[in-house]
Structure 1
């Protein structure tokens, strides 16, 4: 049986396992023979639907590892909308590409780390971050709204 990597069911199961164990989701295949970083080549990355991330993080009663959700070198498709939601764990995205601007307006989150992330904008207006809001190396083609 072949599993379609972009299927919602597959990603929900994989994300649940990641937040329970604290293990990172890393969809890169490593540096190629020419020394190119696969994060620069969308063809070698799997895409996680943003809706699957929202579904898992807002699942009542789900137990989270203290490491929270860690996603590395992955494309996230769709709008990651957490407006006015309470996210009960740390979020760490490293070297990811988001095709739509995520929104955390009025949200409550433990930590939000967007390291070397490429995105078309971001809103964290009126968000409450209980720990760190860290965005080293972020690259945005649109507005970053944090007021």
Structure 2
């Protein structure tokens, strides 16, 4: 068996053995990541850990597995939570009236003026015949609508 196939086999064995840990981490991310996402990330994090070690990362080594699970928890739960602790989530309440949703009100304040919307500019240009294609089969080309 080649070295890469052995590594892949050990990775598959690791995934099966640690699926519960990966699910717990996914649950702790509060829906931001799923267990399948973490399986893919485990491969990348293992390579990062292996680069900093004297010996190559071994998915069959229990110490290496523990190190990987701990690093993934810190990266995807603790650090991610710390990074966005003071951030405002704009998505919750997107379908509620603006006065009921802080995110909706904030996104309204942070958005640019309606005149900066490309669709508004396209509509303005098309009503004035700017850049029309002669046979009318293509949308107008906006050369300069300001």
Place the TM-score, normalised by the shorter chain, in its bin: under 0.3
Which has more helix, going by share of residues? 2
TM-score scaled by structure 2? 0.22
Which has more strand, going by share of residues? 1
Higher relative contact order (CA 8 A, sep 6+): 1
The structure with the larger Rg is: 2
